Every structure is written in structure tokens, then in C-alpha cells.
A and B are shown apart, each in its own frame.
Chain A
Amino acid sequence: MSEWWTYRLSSFLLFSPRTYHRLFELYNRAIFPAQALALGLGLWILFSLWRGSERRRAIPAVLAASWLFVAVAFLALRYASINFAAVYFAWAFGFEAALLLVVGVVCGGLAFDRPNGAAARVGVAMFAFAFFVEPLAGPLLGRGWRQTELFGVAPDPTAVATLGLLLVAGGPGRGVLMVIPVLWCLTTGVFLAAMDAPDAWVAPAGAALAAGLAVRQAWTRRRM
């Protein structure tokens, strides 16, 4: 790209904020009642974490299904109609779903014991934030309930919730699984910032927190 320094964030924005948020309204209408299933699965994950049951394979399976659903139903079939890049985002989400299946389900490489330590507690808080608070952001900012973004069916809360769960999880594959959610959080932050959305900082802040804590945990373990 020539004269790249002359481009601004808004130069890459192909659609209006109104169109972007209305996409969620149409999407929520089209996939109903999938939201009820997503809410149920999210509550089940929280309950599992609270009970301290290991759920070594079930939680990654739910996450993999969520990432795949978002890849196809939202990114490829909806978002791609207004943003060329969404096709690539869909492939990335599909790849994350495959990674979760291989690392978490096939290899059983993640363990969700009762959350211990500061990072794990932050992880639970991040999941709860993505599950309960992020869906409220739109309505609180005047966008209406129909445009609510829910864990399991919308990309941003799914990515933040996944990062939270990966902070809770032990196991060797965690770092690899964090890469795409972190990149998505940064990407969506850029797009939302270009749209002057007041909540543009949320996902990048979640990504920074999760990545920072994961690095700190890894550093501490190496020194022990």
C-alpha cells in the first residue's frame, strides 16, 4: 500500500456503525432460538467452574462449537456481506474451533479444575463479564436489545469468554489457543474505534489482561 501513513482507521471502514449494529439485529432474528441454547451452555460452564468439576473435554467442545457457529452463521453468512475481510475472519474462527477440538477434546489438553490463583479467578471474572455484562453494552449505549451480542453466537463475547476460560485452564495447549482470540479482540477493537464506539476498548483490554496474565503465569512456572 503506497503512502500508508496517510491512511486512518476510518479509511478501512466500509460500512456505517448503524449498518454494523443492525447486522446483529437481523442475525439475532435469523438464528432465534439459538440464543437460548447459548445462554444455557454458558450457565452450564459457570456452574461447572463453580462446582470444580473438571470437564476436561466438554467445555472445549462447547467452545469449539461456539467458534464454528460464529464462523459460519455470523462471519461468513452475515458480516461478509458488508466486509470483505469477514471471510478471512471466518476461516480464523473455524481454525480456532479446530484447535479447540484437537487440543481440548481429542487430546484432553485443557483442565478446568476449581479456579485457583489470581489468574484463574480473573479468568472466571472475564467469562462472567463476557456472559453477563458485554450483552448489556449495546442496550446501555442506546443500541437496543435486539442488537445484543451474546456469548456463543456473537464474536466479541465469545472471544473474551474463551480467553477467560483459557486463563482458568491448565495444560500445555493453552498458549496456542489464545492467539486467535487475542488477535480477534484487537481487530474488533480497531473496527469499533473506527466507528467511534464508546465500548471499543473492552475486547482489546480483555485480550491485554488475558495475554499479560498468561505470560506472567508461564514466567512464574518457569522460575519455580
Chain B
Amino acid sequence: MRQRDTLSRRAFLASLGAVGAASALRPLRAAVVPAVSAAHPGPILTRAIPSSGEKLPLVGLGSWITFNVGDDVPARNSCAEVMGAFFAEGGRLIDSSPMYGSSQEVIGYGLGTLGHPSQLFAADKVWTSSAKAGPGQIEESLRHWGIPRFDLLEVHNLTNWEDHLPMLFAMKRAGRLRYVGVTTSEGRRHDEMERVMRGQPVDFVQVTYNVLDREVEQRILPLALERRIGVICNRPLRRGELIGRVARAPLPAWAAEIDCANWAQVLLKFIVSHPAVIAAIPATSRVDHVRQNVGASYGRMPDEAMRRRIVAHVEKL
């Protein structure tokens, strides 16, 4: 899983071919092959992971709820199409957890269908209160994904991080893992997360951050910059609630100043324009939405004044 700034032509064509193959599995539905993203202004924007310098595109792909489709083959194929479009648009980071039902298996199905795109940055979590169960759970997660190792493993919701972090650091030292982190969501346990950030050599933290949930701006994001820890942002669109809130309002004219063609890109650019943020990970089950989302990795980013303008505008809606 090599480092890269932009999607290479070879990888892009491989991704297109694989998605074409995935679509062929669905003869009753129109094939959905990601189009070349000619509309994107300039190359995909990336940010360097502080602990390594490796660059990641600013928008990843979450799998909470949207990829938990069980054994439903047409739904699994739809998820594979979403993943294919994500890779074709230049995305790399896919995030999941053992907590997300069948999402890991569905990701594995998608990766298999797409021929295991080399640009994948695989992020998963450990989610068990038992220290002994951690390694077994990671092995099971790897089997579900169908990959030999994860790029990033995080302790989900800080569950028994005291036991899991040493195990993850040992995996990293042994070369079986590249990055280690901890997660929380919806503003919970920030005090504890701060203690971990100050006391443990984690590469990443994952927190909830969006235009309305900005508590992490007070302590977590500044601390991440200070401690050189990358931040991944979950619930960037509040599970679609933010889109629902802004959908009826017209896209402001100033959105063009930051190369946004839709509300999703405005909301995501607010997040990824914070200097501590490595990536936001919106989840979706729709190809058109994943294209819109990854589109936030392109073009001009809002400056501080524009960020304040976005907040003020959305708070009024």
C-alpha cells in the first residue's frame, strides 16, 4: 500500500476495469462505472500523516450502517460499486470496525470484486473489553477484509485501551501494522482521549467533527497539532442529518469560491480544511454521493474567514 499524491493512471484504469467486472455481476441493473473526474479542479489534495509523512487524500470512506447489508448480494454489489467509484475518484482510506455488523465482510467482498486496489489504506478497530480477545478479533477482521495486514488499527471508543494499545504497538514494531490510534465519537470521553494523546505514542485519533459538532476545536485538535497526531473525523455529515438540514437551502454563491458544487462538499471542506485533520470519513451507499464526497478533496480550501462563514450560514438554516 504505497504512498502517493495522486491516483496513477494504471491504478485508475485497474479500478475502472474492476468496477466494470463488479457491475457485470448485476445483469438486471444498469452498469455503474465511475466516470473520469474531469470536472475536478487540479490534483487530489492530500495531507501528510504527521508521524510518517505519508500523504492521504482528505476524504475517506466510512462503513457505519451503510455497508452493513448482511448476505444481500445485490446490496453487496452496490457497496462494491461505491468502493469502485471511491477508488476511481482518488480515494484511499476505508474505515470499519468489528462493531459495524457485516460491514467488514462487505468491504472484503468489494475489495475482492475490485481486484484488491493497491491504493487502499485499510483502517479498522479493536472493539472488545477483553485483552485476550483482541488479537483474535484482529485476525477475524483481516479474514473479513481478505487482506494480510491493516494500515491503521484503532481502539474503538477507547474500550480497554490500556491493554489493547501495547498489543497494537507491538504489532507495529513487528511490521504487522503501520499506524496505531484510538477513537471516540459524539464528543464522549474527551478527557480520557486527551490523556491517551499526551501519554501514548499514537499516530491517529478519530473523533466526531463537523460544522455543528465543533467541541474538538477546543482541546483535541490543538493537542493533535502539538503532539503531531493525525485526526480522522467521523460523523462528518451526522449520518446525513446535516445534508437534510441544508438541502432545502440554495447553495450560496460563495461556495464557488472554494470550488464546491454541492452542500456535501461545503460541509466536508469545512472539516478537512482544519490543519489537524488528515481525513473525514463520510459513509454512503450511493455512487453519486461518494463522488460528491471525494470531490471535496479537490480545488480551493476555505480559509479561516470562510470557515466562520460556513458555520454561521449553516447554524442559521
Q: Min CB distance, B115 to chain A, in Å? A: 25
Known contacts A81-B70, A82-B101; is-contact A16 B285 (Cβ 8 Å): yes
Q: Are B72 and A19 in contact (CB under 8 A)?
A: yes
Contact check, B187 vs A19: say whether CB atoms are below 8 A apart: no
**What residues on A are CB-neighbors of B187 within 8 Å?**
6
Q: Is A6 within 8 A of B186, CB to CB?
A: yes
Q: Cβ of B99: which chain A residues have Cβ within 8 Å of it? A: 14
Q: Which of B61-69, B199-207, B222-230, B295-303 contacts A (4 or more CB under 8 A)?
A: B61-69
Interface pair A82/B186, CB less than 8 Å apart: no
Interface: A22 (CB within 8 A): yes
CB-contact partner of B68 in A6, A11, A19, A26, under 8 A: A19
Please name all residues of chain B whose beta carbon is closer than 8 Å to the beta carbon of A2 when the two chains form the complex: 188-189
Q: Are B65 and A13 in contact (CB under 8 A)?
A: yes
B239 touches A (CB below 8 Å): yes
Q: Binary interface profile of A, 21-35, with partner B (CB < 8 Å = 1, else 0)? A: 011001000000000
Q: A2-B189, A10-B239 are in contact. Are A19 and B100 (CB under 8 A)?
A: no
Residue of A nearest to B65 (CB): A16
- Contacts between chains A and B (CB distance < 8 A), count: 47
Given A10-B239, A82-B70, A15-B101 contact (CB < 8 Å)? yes
Q: In the complex, what residues of B have CB within 8 A of residue A15's CB?
A: 65, 68-70, 101
Set A6, A11, A19: member contacting B70, Cβ < 8 A: A19
Number of interface residues of B (CB under 8 A): 18
CB distance from A103 to the nearest CB of B (A): 34
| A78 contacts across to B, CB distance below 8 A | 70
Instruction: Pick the residue among B66, B101, B285 that contacts A81 (CB under 8 A).
Output: B101
Kindly state the separation between the CA atoms of A16 and B188 in the bound complex, as whole angstroms: 23
How far, in whole Å, are A78 and B70 apart by their CA atoms in the complex?
8
- Cα distance, A15 to B70, chains bound together (Å): 9
Residue pair A14, B71 in contact (C-beta under 8 Å)? no
Q: Are A22 and B75 in contact (CB under 8 A)?
A: yes
Residue of B nearest to A78 (CB): B70
Please indicate the chain A residues that have their CB under 8 angstroms from the CB of B102 in the complex: 81-82
Most buried by B among A13, A16, A84: A16
Smallest CB separation, A13 vs chain B (Å): 7
Describe B's contact surface by its main secondary structure: loop
Expressed in whole angstroms, the Cα–Cα distance for A16 and B75 within the complex equals: 12
Least distance between A22 CB and chain B CB atoms (Å): 6
A16 to B101, CA, bound (A): 12
Query: In the assembly, what is the distance between CA of A3 and CA of B71, in Å?
Result: 34
CB distance from B124 to the nearest CB of A (A): 16
Q: How far is the CB of A8 from chain B (nearest CB, A)?
A: 9
Q: How far is the CB of A91 from chain B (nearest CB, A)?
A: 19
Question: Which residues of A lie under 8 Å from residue B285 when comparing CB positions?
Answer: 16
Q: CB within 8 A of A82: which of B68, B188, B189, B239?
A: B68
| B70, A23: Cβ atoms closer than 8 Å | yes
Distance, CA A43 to CA B177, complexed state (A): 60
Chain A residue contacts of B68, Cβ below 8 A: 14-16, 19, 82
Please name all residues of chain B whose beta carbon is closer than 8 Å to the beta carbon of A3 when the two chains form the complex. 188-189
| Most A CB within 10 A of own CB, among B69, B70, B72, B187 | B70
Which residues 65-88 of B have a CB within 8 angstroms of A?
Answer: 65-66, 68-72, 75
Contact in complex: B188, A19 (CB < 8 Å): no
Within 8 Å CB of A188, what residues of B? none
A83 interface residue per 8 A CB criterion:
yes
Closest to B102 in A: A81
A14/B72 in contact, CB under 8 A = no
B window 151-190: CB within 8 A of A: 186-189
Sample of 5 further A-B pairs with CB below 8 A, known A2-B189, A23-B70: A6-B187, A14-B101, A16-B68, A81-B102, A82-B102
User: What would 27 A/B residue contacts be, using CB atoms closer than 8 Å?
Assistant: A2-B189, A3-B188, A3-B189, A6-B188, A10-B239, A11-B186, A13-B65, A14-B101, A15-B68, A15-B69, A15-B70, A15-B101, A16-B65, A16-B66, A16-B68, A19-B69, A19-B70, A19-B75, A22-B72, A22-B75, A78-B70, A81-B101, A82-B68, A82-B69, A82-B70, A82-B101, A84-B101
Q: List chain B positions with a Cβ less than 8 A from chain A.
A: 65-66, 68-72, 75, 99-102, 186-189, 239, 285
Would you list the 7 A-B pairs with minimal beta carbon distance, nearest first?
A81-B70, A82-B70, A14-B101, A15-B68, A82-B101, A3-B188, A82-B68
